Chains A and B, each alone.
Chain A
Amino acid sequence: MVSAQRAVPARVQRAWDVLAGVLDPEVPALSLCDLGIVRDVREAGDALEVVLTPTYSGCPATEVIEQSVREALERDGLGPVQLKLQRAPAWTTDWISEDGRRKLREYGIAPPGHIEPGAPVAIRLVPRRIAPVACPRCGSTHTEQLSAFGATACKSLHRCLDCREPFEHFKPI
């Protein structure tokens, strides 16, 4: 994010404000900035360069996201816009802001837990313990996973055993 101490061109500052209002097409509770996929905004000659990081390799929303970033900035008179896709470092749900996590919960999606640093774990044989996911409606951790994959690549499906409501969980990755 932009530090207040650094001299930031007004155009760049304005662009961050505009992008904070561009919503993710698949989880419209979150802006692209809440999700942490806008990595940088800078001036490159006449153009405004926006650096985006894809969430999942096959996320079908990637192209819609690029298009909505371009449209939002051009509509605000900040163009011409150059988009740059940057894969490294890989996006992680740890980049979802605290504000974003709150919005997810309010939207009915359990936010992701934090990622343990280190290499990905080897396969676990059952029985195994999955860290309990708190129900976004009643807060109970007495929940169970129904499906490791949900309606989009980034979510899994759960159910609360107390309030009996099904809910989605943003998978930590």
Chain B
Amino acid sequence: MQASIQLQRDPRQQYLLRIGDTCLILAQRLGEWTGHAPVLEEDIALANMALDLLGQARAVLTLAGSAQGLDEDQLAFLREERDYFNPTLVELPNGDGRPGDFALTVLRNLFVSTLLRHLWVRLHDSSDEELSAIAAKAVKEASYHQQHAADWVLRLGDGTDESHRRMQAALEKLWPYVAELFEDDAVDEQAAADGLGPRWAELRANWHAEVAPLLQEATLQPPPDKSFMSTGKRGVHSEHMGYILAEMQHLQRAYPGGAW
């Protein structure tokens, strides 16, 4: 059995891992749809988006590990749960059962791709040349993902009674996890001070400016805000995270360095 790696908990690394882990864990969730989506075109779309996200994750994890001499595979497969820093939103199951709920999947894709698109736009100005280059590439992909998700949210929200009901239910389930995306802390402060990237809190206004009119057009009503705050970005995850990691990691743990 391959032992876990230990992170040094450096703010720069944590900032990068928040980005890389967001892409990595959402890619894993989207990958669960492969072979199970409602129609063939969406099966291909979700798999393609998972692939883009995985590619982005690889690039960012490679950068995040470089200072500590860790590679993308060690970071993806050999960390303990508390050393993953994705927001809780991306680790939530696709819905009840497998492969889950398509409405929830496309709504989450809208939330995350909107966040990432604005983040990549800002990261293009990063003081880190490699991060800037990754961002210039990824922003184009995020735009495609966002448009795809927006089309579905609109079509299903403003669709039949049943599609509207399921979209509204997904919104009520996911909305409480949005606040965490824009929480501000010392990691963001350091990144902003170093010119590495923006505080995620700075993306809040742009995010809402795009998502709110779309939800309105889709006849969807977000639930009232609550004081609940999820904590994935600090490494404290929901009960779902362990199961994802077990699935992602067990092969590399059992057969170290296994490749095919």
Residues of A within 8 A of B (CB): 54, 56-60, 87-91, 119-126, 146-151, 153, 157, 171, 173
Q: How far is the CB of A48 from chain B (nearest CB, A)?
A: 24
Given contacts A59-B51, A88-B132, 12 further A-B contacts (CB under 8 A): A57-B138, A87-B137, A90-B133, A91-B137, A120-B140, A123-B114, A125-B150, A125-B213, A126-B151, A149-B148, A150-B44, A157-B41
Question: B148 near A120 (CB under 8 angstroms)?
Answer: no
Q: Hey, which chain B residues are within 8 Å of A148, CB to CB?
A: 45, 144, 147-148, 151
**Shortest Cβ distance from residue B42 to the other chain A in the assembled complex, whole angstroms:** 8
| Contact call B138/A88, Cβ cutoff below 8 A | no
Instruction: Pick from A54, A123, A124 the residue with the most CB of B within 10 Å.
Output: A123
B121 touches A119 (CB 8 A): yes
Our pick among A88, A90, A125 for the contact of B140 (Cβ within 8 Å) is: A90
Chain B contact residue count (CB 8 A cutoff): 39
Q: How many A-B residue pairs have CB under 8 A?
A: 89
Proximity bits, B48-66, A CB within 8 Å = 1, else 0: 1101111110110000000
Chain B neighbourhood of A149, CB < 8 A:
41, 44-45, 48-49, 148
Which positions 135-157 of chain B face chain A at CB distance < 8 Å?
136-141, 143-144, 146-148, 150-151, 154
Type the 1/0 row for B199-229, where 1 means its CB is closer than 8 Å to any CB of A: 0000000000010011001000000000000
Interface of B is mostly: helix
B73 within 8 A of A: no
Cross-chain contact of B117 among A120, A147, A171 (Cβ < 8 A): A120
Say yes or no: A88 contacts B147, CB within 8 Å: no
Task: Report the nearest B residue to A171, measured CB to CB.
Answer: B144
**CB within 8 Å of A: which B50-90 residues:** 51-56, 58-59
**Complex interface bits, B26-48 against A, C-beta within 8 A gives 1, otherwise 0:** 00000000000000010011001
B129 within 8 A of A: yes
Q: What CA separation (Å) do A59 and B129 show in the bound complex?
A: 22
Interface residues of B (CB under 8 A from A): 41, 44-45, 48-49, 51-56, 58-59, 114, 117, 121, 129-130, 132-134, 136-141, 143-144, 146-148, 150-151, 154, 210, 213-214, 217
Chain B residues with CB under 8 Å of A88's CB are 129, 132-133, 136
User: A89–B139 Cα gap in the complex (Å)?
Assistant: 13
With A153-B51, A173-B140 known as contacts, the answer to whether A58 contacts B147 (CB < 8 A) is no
- Asked if A58 and B51 make an inter-chain contact with CB atoms under 8 angstroms apart, the answer reads yes
22 contacts between A and B (CB under 8 A): A56-B52, A57-B55, A57-B56, A57-B134, A58-B54, A87-B59, A87-B130, A87-B134, A88-B129, A88-B136, A91-B137, A120-B139, A120-B143, A123-B214, A125-B154, A125-B213, A125-B214, A147-B45, A149-B41, A151-B44, A153-B52, A157-B41
